[in-house]
Structure 1
Amino acid sequence: MCGMVYTRENFNQLLAENASLKSEVNLLQEKVQCLMKKLFGRSSEKLSPDQLELELEELRELQEALELAETKAELAEEEQKESKRGKRKGLDARIPKDLPTETIIIDPDEVLAHPELYKKIAEVRTEKLDVTPTRFFRTVIIRNKYKKRDDRSIAPLIAPAPKQLIENSYASTGLVLHIILSKYCDHLPLYRQEQIFKQRFGVEISRKTMGGWMYLVAQWLSLIYEALRNEIRASGYIQADETFIKYQDPKKDYCPNGYLWAYHSPGKGVLFEWYASRAATCLDSMLVDYAGLLQTDGYAGYTSWLNKKSHAKEKAAIIHAACWAHARRKFREVPGNPTAEDIVKRIAKLYRVERKLRNNPDLDPAAYRREHATPVMEGIKTILETERFRQLPQSNFGKAINYTLERWDALNFYLEHGRLEIDNNLVENAIRPTAIGKKNFLFFGSPDSGQTSAVIYSLIETCRKLDINPAVYLREVLTALPTMNQSEAASWTPARWKSNRETTCE
């Protein structure tokens, strides 16, 4: 049997091939571990107990007793907040005091038979929380017609018909409000509401009819919607994100992806815009002529929009900040790497600085961050630049390093601008209710219905952000809309509405 003769060239080729295969195996193993973590690991991005233990060890080595005590107190406070089993509140704290009260008095039969023989000396009170289910009823509007008794030449008199939210429709403001809240707050699709109305109340309202009402109401609300857009743009700070939602296209035999673009300004509200694509041109309506802070994730559409020659004025006027939560997420996806875990632990220090600022509103955010967060970030950058040439670019760790270093300046902007948040989580939280909704209704019924939902979601999510009861707000708005002028719409945004109510109460 003839043996194969290996030359030095063949040997070097085999070594290179072996090294390449090892590298590929390592990458595949890393991907498998990452997928296993996503499938079976914790979805929360909060620090694991092991990482907290590493942090405590570091504090012991530094022997800073005061800082250690503060950290333990902060951790205990965080664990208390995270605990799902907090101390149960009393009944008075859980039930509003201004609820209507119905009193039922129960006397013994003997007292009822001979009340003159008994004297009340005390009472035993038992409080219950009751609810009246949804109740349909007819509202009949009667306009009497009159004629003058002694002068038949004068035309009969009749009061003008009140302006309706939806003309020539039997839908009242209360019915429309109920459908809006059920769909956009309680995430009940229109076809489920149709079934509920028919099965429980014997009332038949087709989903097509309700969809038409939603469209007409959204047209009315567009006045306030545009005023909300102006408020967010004028605030000088926008957090932007986007999420996909499928929609039905009659020209296609499948449901393509559309996108709700979300723009959030802390203290002002959230505005959603619907587009059938994720192209950078979708940003035109919000960012053209905008000046101020813009905070986004790493989606390239934002930077490509700013880098267009036609947007040179906006690029000069906009400070484009990045999100530390997305950077941290990249390192959390690196399984079993001590250096990546160390970086996650260091990023946790940045978030402790933010927690300190939230608990002490009198502190100057920019100055406090420069003092406490800047040294941490310098340490992170040193590690990243060292590891950049040690890691494979296609590995999860290599991708995380490149992602962070490419956006390093944008990640540093929050140190100098006190208004900036450390991450984009506030706008992501605003998107979550829409995600629950799309799990139930699966897709929008047409390309046009996306903007209908965007308008209504904008007002409801703004109410949620500003701690406003959407039922109270929308009832007043829907009642006022038929007689509202365009110039009055600006005073009906949720922020202005809340401010006016607080001023009136004072």
Structure 2
Amino acid sequence: MARIGEDVSERLDAVPAQLRVLVTRRPKYACRRCSAAVAQAHAPEHVVPGGLPTEALIAQVMVAKFGDHLPFYRQAEIYTRQGITLDRATLGNWVGRACFHLRPIVDHLRESLKGADRVFMDETRAPVLDPGRRKTKTGYFWAIVSDDRGHGGTSPPVVMFHYAPGRGAVHALRFLDGYRGQFVQCDGYEAYDKLTKVDRTEGPWTLVHCWTHARRRFVKRLEKDGSPIAEEALRQIAELYAIEKTVRGAAPDVRLAIRRQLSAPIVAAFRPWLEAQLSRIPKSSKLAEDIRYTLARWPGLTRFLEDGRLELDTNPVENQIRKIALTRKNALFAGHEVGTENWAMLASLIANCKMSDVDPVRYLAETLRALLDGHPKSRIDELMPWNFAPASSLAA
């Protein structure tokens, strides 16, 4: 029979993850004719001296927990299915040692963020085990983000997480110390108000409030009470977002011109409408509370009409802090405060990799190797996620 063609079909298959043993041999040499010292190549530095894991395995463990939200005990179960016995304490020890080596990267990341014109800021709970009381105590992760992509900026987006034992303004002030920008985009949490009274060389911070937080209140009222006032408020806010969608990524002056032409009239009419509705409804109602919340933050909500670099909401930081919440949901709590600080450090590095479209496993593995090999501190910027170029022969 003569071949007249063929049919080709493709199917997606799964190959189980493989663990391998890397063997390092270091021959010893001696001269038979003299008493010279024995010559041998130096042993390479490892994250765990004399230990089992390579940098790639430690990177996989770190990203699995802080990027893919798999607690150590679940990872230990996965390794057991593959015939490798690793308890969660061992995995935690590896991660702690890696964090020691990665600290210069995180410190430089923080310094890079301090030059941003404006930052987004938010906080979320961080339960920490309190052994003496046999229960958990509540700390907080504070997130600071710089993201200029909304107005066509070329600076790389940066996110930094910090751990603090509380939620007070003192922590926000401490984490923002040294920042040279003017604007902080945040929610309506009252602790941020103290930023406007800070004595800085650059002057007090200017707060830019979030339309998403105001919108959520009206969404809740519509869902619970079917309020027509809430429905109309949402319609007007939606008009602002529709305009904003058309200027996403445009230059600041273009954004500002369109906002003043199209958004400003909506905003100008929205406030008196809210005030009129407030006078018609019971002062003790939830809807009245929501309207008062919006009106009390009106200067911050309308600041986007004054500067094209500003955004309508704090979504860039909320999108980042949501990942912390997912890890928290699965891990329940951190074992101690040092572990929580390591959590913040690794979540920062992994989030920056994702924002820069970099594989976090490869980045952490090769960065750890570079640090162990003595990468000079004067060139630490080369190891930032946005400058990462895989050195591995397996690079795509």
Q: TM-score, normalised by structure 1?
A: 0.70
Counting only pairs closer than 5 Å after superposition, residues 389-404 of structure 1 correspond to structure 2 as 389-404=279-294
Counting only pairs closer than 5 Å after superposition, residues 389-428 of structure 1 correspond to structure 2 as 389-428=279-318
User: 1:444 and 1:372 mapped to 2: Cα distance?
Assistant: 48
CA contact (8 A) 2:260 2:305 kept: yes
Q: Which deviates the most, 369-378 or 154-163?
A: 154-163
CA contact (8 A) 1:331 1:344 kept: yes
Partner of 1:88: none
Deviation at 1:207, TM superposition (A): 0.9
Partner of 1:178: 60
Partner of 1:312: 199
CA contact (8 A) 2:55 2:366 kept: no
Deviation at 1:148, TM superposition (A): 2.6
SS at match of 2:130: coil
Partner of 2:126: 245
CA RMSD of aligned residues (A): 2.4
Q: Deviations over 1:225-249 (max 9, x none)?
A: 1111122221222101111021101
Q: TM-score, normalised by structure 2?
A: 0.89
Of 23, 29, 49, 1:146 maps to 29
CA contact (8 A) 1:191 1:207 kept: yes
Partner of 1:33: none
The structure with more radius of gyration: 1
Counting only pairs closer than 5 Å after superposition, residues 429-444 of structure 1 correspond to structure 2 as 429-444=319-334
Using a 3 Å threshold, how does the CA distance of structure 1 residues 420 and 362 change in structure 2: closer, same or farther?
A: closer
Deviation at 1:208, TM superposition (A): 0.9
Q: Which deviates the most, 283-292 or 262-271?
A: 283-292
Of 126, 131, 143, 1:262 maps to 143
Of 319, 339, 342, 2:229 maps to 339
Q: Which runs of 5+ in 2 are unaligned?
A: 148-155
User: 1:187 and 1:196 mapped to 2: Cα distance?
Assistant: 14
CA contact (8 A) 1:291 1:318 kept: no
User: 2:264 and 2:307 mapped to 1: Cα distance?
Assistant: 13
Using a 3 Å threshold, how does the CA distance of structure 1 residues 495 and 353 change in structure 2: closer, same or farther?
A: same
Partner of 2:241: 351
Deviation at 1:178, TM superposition (A): 1.8
User: 1:316 and 1:337 mapped to 2: Cα distance?
Assistant: 42
Q: Which deviates the most, 260-269 or 489-498?
A: 489-498
Counting only pairs closer than 5 Å after superposition, residues 101-140 of structure 1 correspond to structure 2 as 125-140=8-23
SS at match of 1:255: strand
Partner of 2:152: none
Using a 3 Å threshold, how does the CA distance of structure 1 residues 232 and 383 change in structure 2: closer, same or farther?
A: same
CA contact (8 A) 1:260 1:273 kept: yes
CA contact (8 A) 1:332 1:344 kept: yes
Structure 2 residue 384 is matched with structure 1 residue 493:
yes
Using a 3 Å threshold, how does the CA distance of structure 1 residues 269 and 365 change in structure 2: closer, same or farther?
A: same
Give the number of aligned pairs: 379
User: 1:349 and 1:305 mapped to 2: Cα distance?
Assistant: 31
Higher relative contact order (CA 8 A, sep 6+): 2
CA contact (8 A) 2:123 2:142 kept: yes
User: 1:164 and 1:120 mapped to 2: Cα distance?
Assistant: 58
Q: Which has the higher helix share?
A: 1
Structure 2 residue 166 is matched with structure 1 residue 284:
no
Deviation at 1:120, TM superposition (A): 8.3
Using a 3 Å threshold, how does the CA distance of structure 1 residues 164 and 207 change in structure 2: closer, same or farther?
A: same
Equivalent residue letter for 2:384: T
Partner of 1:207: 88
CA contact (8 A) 1:391 1:398 kept: yes
User: 1:492 and 1:374 mapped to 2: Cα distance?
Assistant: 44
Using a 3 Å threshold, how does the CA distance of structure 1 residues 314 and 275 change in structure 2: closer, same or farther?
A: farther
Q: Which deviates the most, 444-453 or 432-441?
A: 432-441
CA contact (8 A) 1:184 1:457 kept: yes
CA contact (8 A) 1:232 1:265 kept: yes
Deviation at 1:130, TM superposition (A): 3.3
User: 1:347 and 1:314 mapped to 2: Cα distance?
Assistant: 36
User: 2:241 and 2:187 mapped to 1: Cα distance?
Assistant: 17
Partner of 2:78: 196
Partner of 2:48: 166
Q: Deviations over 1:249-280 (max 9, x none)?
A: 12223211111111111142211111121121
User: 1:250 and 1:342 mapped to 2: Cα distance?
Assistant: 51
Using a 3 Å threshold, how does the CA distance of structure 1 residues 315 and 337 change in structure 2: closer, same or farther?
A: farther
User: 1:314 and 1:363 mapped to 2: Cα distance?
Assistant: 27
Partner of 1:380: 270
CA contact (8 A) 2:196 2:204 kept: no
Deviation at 1:189, TM superposition (A): 0.8
SS at match of 1:258: strand
Sequence identity of aligned pairs in percent? Answer: 33
Using a 3 Å threshold, how does the CA distance of structure 1 residues 125 and 386 change in structure 2: closer, same or farther?
A: closer
User: 2:107 and 2:265 mapped to 1: Cα distance?
Assistant: 43
Equivalent residue letter for 2:218: F
Partner of 1:226: 107
Deviation at 1:290, TM superposition (A): 2.1
Q: Which deviates the most, 367-376 or 468-477?
A: 468-477
SS at match of 1:313: coil
Q: Deviations over 1:313-371 (max 9, x none)?
A: 27824221100111111222323332222121111110001111127669711111111
Partner of 2:343: 453
Q: Deviations over 1:165-192 (max 9, x none)?
A: 2223221112112211221222111111
Structure 2 residue 383 is matched with structure 1 residue 484:
no
